[in-house]
Amino acid sequence: MELKGYFRLLQKKLWLIVAIALIAGVGAGVKSIFFTQPIYEASSKLIVNQTSNVQGQAMMDFSMIQTNIKLINSYREIIKSSAIMDKVATTYPDLGLTSAQLMNSTSVSTASESQVMSITVQGTTYEKAAKTVNAISNVFQSQIPLIMKIDNVAILSEAKVDSNASPINMKTTLSIIVSLFAGLVLAIALVFLMDYLDDTFKSETELEKELGLPVLTVISKMKKDDLKNTKNYVSQQKVGDGKYVAANQ
């Protein structure tokens, strides 16, 4: 019975639930389309491939690979340091970015036990993001021999400037669906909260259950139109229109 009561409550407040869900969905769509600045992402890959030279032949061994992998942790910090970003800002003034802006928009990642590093840059246009990440890669490759006294970094792949990329933050459909679901959950919770805080009796059954006494009579709620009709009916009656019983003389 309580479950049926919950369903009746939701059915009664269905208009409120639908309204809140639609407002949330439409609001998310409007924000995503008109008030969200698109952010693009471009990446380049570097490989750390130090080799050892034995009898004039370049060789790779397991210990050297492990050394390269451990160096990557240091390289990740060096890439985002002022030593590299200041050089990028001065070498590529056409980017229009300061050293601090370059640091904030750049991230460096690597897979576990891998000699490959990925440099990722975010920007308001894909072309600018691609040019920026390529500039950082080139500057880092040229500066690492001066900083670490070892030339073991090579550019594996650069970002393609003319690539047709999509913004990473403009997922309008997903945003609308999530907002609709969140609005629906919020609306249902609000309906239950309003019902919990409402102490009024809404039916004779609730009153009987609370007092433990049977209901003898019910006073119906009258509308203003019903009251006007009653007044008009009374005013139209004239004296003598009613039926009377004549007494026998």
Question: Beta partners for 147?
Answer: none
pLDDT at 185 over 80: yes
Cα dihedral 202→204→208→214 (10° resolution):
160
233 — pLDDT class (breaks 50, 70, 90): low
Whole-number pLDDT of residue 54: 46
Whole-number pLDDT of residue 228: 65
Q: In the numeric block, which tokens belong to residue 61?
A: 């061994």
Average pLDDT over residues 185-206: 83
Tens digits of residue pLDDT in 37-63: 899 999 999 998 865 454 444 455 677
* Amino acid of residue 113: E
Q: String of b and e for 42-80 (b: at least 16 CB within 10 Å)?
A: bbbbbbbbeeeeeeeeeeeeeeeeeebeebbeebbebbb
**Helix and strand counts by DSSP (H, E) for the chain:** 9, 6
226 — pLDDT class (breaks 50, 70, 90): low
Taking all residues of the chain, what is their mean pLDDT, rounded to a whole number? 83
234 — pLDDT class (breaks 50, 70, 90): low
- The Cα–Cα gap between 209 and 216 comes to 14
Whole-number pLDDT of residue 129: 94
CB 178 within 8 A of CB 71: no
77 — pLDDT class (breaks 50, 70, 90): very high
Of all residues in the chain, what percent carry a pLDDT higher than 90?
Answer: 46
Contacts of 80 (CB under 8 A, 6+ apart): 103, 106, 108
150 — pLDDT class (breaks 50, 70, 90): confident
User: Beta 57-59 vs 52-54: how paired, if at all?
Assistant: antiparallel
CB 48 within 8 A of CB 111: no
- The Cα–Cα gap between 156 and 221 comes to 81
pTM above 0.75, yes or no: no
pLDDT at 138 over 90: yes
